[in-house]
Amino acid sequence: MSINLYSKRILKLLGITFIIPITLFEINTINKHVKAEKNLIAASEKDLFLYRQMGASYLCIASKAEVDFKKSLAIASATFTHVIIGKHGGAFQELGNEKLDEKRIYNSGTFQIVGSALNICPENIPKNIKNDYEKRLKELVKKNKK
């Protein structure tokens, strides 16, 4: 009977020594997650330049590797979108820290990535994509002049 009593004490001691660190670890993890969500800073022009160039670089490399252009562009645009939403909460300094929805960020990213890719590897951009980009750019310039 004394062995069972002794075994129970050991189990309790071991249980406590395992439960306390696990509990503290869980609380610390939750606390870090909450702090991370509060520290979102709107994307600056410097941030956008980096993400846009990374997307354009991916697009150029993928097109040289003969990966479907539209799929490559979709992946680059989705990555651009997810980084801005994940790291900046979808907010942009240029827009007064306004948050954009996922669709608007995706469309904007697509436009910006194509523009950068036209500077990096214009020979890899399909003619219809280039024409659509130039048409949209002219519309935006005209709209901003008003």
- Give the tokens for residue 9: 């004490």
If asked whether residues 19 and 49 sit together in one domain, one would say no
Q: Is-above-0.85 flag for pTM? A: no
Alpha helices for the chain (secondary structure H): 2-38, 45-64, 69-88, 102-120, 127-145
If asked whether residues 62 and 22 sit together in one domain, one would say no
Domain count, the chain: 2
The residues pairing with 92 across neighbouring beta strands, listed in sequence order, are 43, 98
d(CA 72, CA 49): 19
pLDDT tens digits, residue range 50-94?
999 999 999 999 999 989 999 999 999 999 999 999 999 999 999
Confirm if 117 and 52 have CB atoms less than 8 A apart.
no
If asked whether residues 140 and 76 sit together in one domain, one would say yes
Of all residues in the chain, the percent with pLDDT exceeding 70 is 73
If asked whether residues 35 and 104 sit together in one domain, one would say no
Domain range enclosing 16: 1-39
If asked whether residues 85 and 100 sit together in one domain, one would say yes
* Residue appearing with tokens 């306004």: 98
If asked whether residues 30 and 68 sit together in one domain, one would say no
d(CA 50, CA 83): 11
Helix (H) / strand (E) element for 77: namely helix 69-88
Q: How many CB atoms lie within 10 A of CB 27?
A: 10
